[in-house]
Structure 1
């Protein structure tokens, strides 16, 4: 299992993924789940993946091999992020059709993706691709999309994220969303890859990795825990006659 998050903002995008993958309690590994395709000054496309690792890695590898060489799978040639999502879905279905029957006796071969970024002439956009290969797009009313182990990290986003939130504010919420998930589910773990993409930059300069003992990561977690305890202490007691 893994957890990936994408947030759409007027200023750009905040994208984050964990690095843990496991095929049992004694087969745990760290794998990067965030892949980027970029052309300076012209486009930046990011793929975040969850699900069957062999399937999602095959999709990313096929797309990397095709990038810049023309053809139906070339993300460097698509005219919009919508077209990029179509290419990812088509490539994913091709991999699934090839491998699914062989994998079926051993488990689930499906995966899911977040496709995000910007192509010159268009705004930043964010899509979620389902295991069937179809997808939806984020909007101001549905500004964040999640794949993988989503339930633990959702409440703080529902409560504190707004469409006009800044990239900095949203990045803090993203990390706290991962903190909540990591605390509640052992199948999600650091390092956390966080990409803060600024509109019209067509760059991945805002990409950072937060390891388990990263000072900034730990300071955010500690500050949140301390603040939460302080808030709790100041909430009126709901039960009378009990200290």
Structure 2
């Protein structure tokens, strides 16, 4: 399993993924699930993946080679806008499903993958999409400016309560790290190190790309500060005014 989360706010895009893969209790490895397609000054896109690792790696390799869309072979570096980028990722997923889906099914495995695509192409706004295993997709909106894939339930409450379009990129980084830490604490199939990418609106380049390990001072401060704040909030809650036993 994995956990990836993306935010699309007024200031830009924040993307965060873990690196743990789990093929059984005694077969745990680390693989990056974040990929970048960038033409500085013209576009910056980040793709994060969850699901069958062989499937998602093949999707990325196809995207690097080129995928046919609307009668043309395209790459993320050549599509005209973010909507076409999401369509291209969907087309790559469907192509892999046609190639490998029957063999997976014959071995008793479902074709499973989901992908987050965030970024900006010159002439358009920052956008964030979730692409499903059928190749169709949804987009983050002002009402819900975040999307998640993988083991998302533990990291969702903080985003629901706090995040909005006016959240700054620095606040967004802190929120995604809190969301990730909550997931890591509650699910052994999600783990460090983490991959972080930040794209500021109209910068048309990935401004921050960072590998976060257990030794990262900022991550430790976020993890310990959030745990301490939760304990303090709990202790300060009013006690029940009725018999509790």
Taking structure 2 as the reference length, what is the TM-score of the superposition?
A: 0.94
Tell me the equivalent position of 2:40: 40
CA contact under 8 A between 2:200 and 2:206: conserved in structure 1?
Answer: no
CA contact under 8 A between 1:42 and 1:120: conserved in structure 2?
Answer: yes
Shift of 1:108: 2.5
Tell me the equivalent position of 2:237: 235
Tell me the equivalent position of 2:164: 162
Identify which of 125, 130, 133 aligns with 2:132: 130
CA contact under 8 A between 1:17 and 1:192: conserved in structure 2?
Answer: yes
Say whether 1:81 aligns with 2:82. Answer: yes
Tell me the equivalent position of 2:57: 57
The aligned runs of 1:147-186 (5 Å cut-off) are 147-186=149-188
CA contact under 8 A between 1:72 and 1:87: conserved in structure 2?
Answer: no
2:214 partner SS? coil
Shift of 1:240: 4.2
Unaligned residue ranges in structure 2 (runs of 5+)? none
* Deviates further, 114-123 or 99-108: 99-108
The aligned runs of 1:107-126 (5 Å cut-off) are 107-126=109-128
Runs of at least 4 residues of structure 1 off by over 4 A? 239-243
Shift of 1:63: 1.2
CA contact under 8 A between 2:44 and 2:199: conserved in structure 1?
Answer: no
1:212 partner SS? coil
Tell me the equivalent position of 2:209: 207
Write the distance in 2 (CA, Å) between the matches of 1:81 and 1:177.
26
* Deviates further, 119-128 or 212-221: 212-221
CA contact under 8 A between 1:193 and 1:210: conserved in structure 2?
Answer: yes
Shift of 1:65: 2.6
CA contact under 8 A between 2:18 and 2:192: conserved in structure 1?
Answer: yes
What is the aligned residue count? 241
Shift of 1:241: 5.8
Write the distance in 2 (CA, Å) between the matches of 1:138 and 1:28.
32
Identify which of 210, 215, 227 aligns with 1:225: 227
Shift of 1:222: 0.4
CA contact under 8 A between 2:193 and 2:214: conserved in structure 1?
Answer: yes
